[in-house]
Amino acid sequence: MPDMTRRSAIAALGACGLPELAWARQSSGGWQVMTALPRRVQEIYPTVLGQHIYLAGGLEAREGPDVDSISDQLFVLTDPANPAAMWDTRAPLPEPRHHPNLVGHNGFVYGIGGFRAGDGGIWEMIANTTRYELASDEWVEMAPMPAPYAETCAVSLGGLIHVATGRQPNGSSNASWADHGDRGDHFAYDASNDSWTRRAPNPNPRNSAAGAVLNGSFHVVGGRRVGAGNEAHHDAYDPVTDSWETRAPLPQAQGGLAAAVAGGRLYAFGGEYFDNGGGVYPQVWVYDPDTDHWLEGPPMITPRHGLGGVSLGGDIYAIGGAVRASGRNTSNLVERLRPAS
């Protein structure tokens, strides 16, 4: 399977057409190249806390353009508005991890789930909730999730951290990528008492989707399923009713993408495909919640997958990732989109 080929390549450490959906071209905004990350990483989930951008972990390319290690590094961009601002290095994670979801919440940065290297390879999925203490520059282990979870979406919403839609172990084995399957499980973390509870699951289980908060709802877009390829699903979770609602799907099925919210709209961008030799998507899709339609935004300067997406000050940041499908051509690029008003 194409997705399995990708995972096998990374573990060794070494486009579909548009469906007939209504969309319109948005007036162009502008992408801008920013200061690059200190290292080349992909499969990352950065976050924003205050006016700073935080990034930790990921699959790293140290000796060349292709993935060859796992990162434990924490980088912080303290002046994102300045194109020349440099990334600072802070206390590393307790161990190298890839795919950890970072969430800025209640004055802390939480690193949730992901994978670490184990006896059977680099795909040992974890349930860890690891909190970064800004004042002391250290990481502290908190209550873990009810189950290992990775390739998920995680957001801060309604006083809780919500984690939903990804992959979990299928049984007792938890050492390789093939040990895991798609899930729609949904966990909520209450920092006030350091505890997790289960919430309504996403009705469309998949992995490598992108998530963000828009108008008080947790939106999950795109992703892929093992054996089924990329998907265009778009689900929105209402924390008041503890229920999911189907929204207009992406105009194009994309997995391994990123998402962020600016100007009252949801931006989804990047991702990879594996047919016809594989590649990455340049498209930027912009969701208008008032009309439940997607617009086409200005394409990325450098199309990537496994990248991180955050919004700050009304701008969208596309961070890291890889410019070719799988673990190849890993990047340290940071580019900023200033949406048209």
Mean pLDDT of 146-155: 98
Rounded Cα distance, 301 and 333, in Å: 10
Strand 293-296 to 23-25 pairing: parallel
- Please check the confidence at residue 98 and state whether its pLDDT lies above 90: yes
pTM over 0.85, yes/no: yes
Q: Find the domain containing 68 and state its range.
A: 2-338
Torsion sign across C-alpha atoms 269, 270, 272, 273 = positive
CATH number at 223 reads 2.120.10.80
Q: How confident is the model at residue 120 (pLDDT cuts 50, 70, 90)?
A: confident
Q: What 3-state class would DSSP assign to 130?
A: strand
Give per-residue pLDDT as tens, 323-340. 999 999 999 999 999 998
Q: What total of structural domains would you count in the chain?
A: 1
Q: Tell me how many degrees the CA angle 187-321-325 measures, rounded to the nearest 5.
A: 100
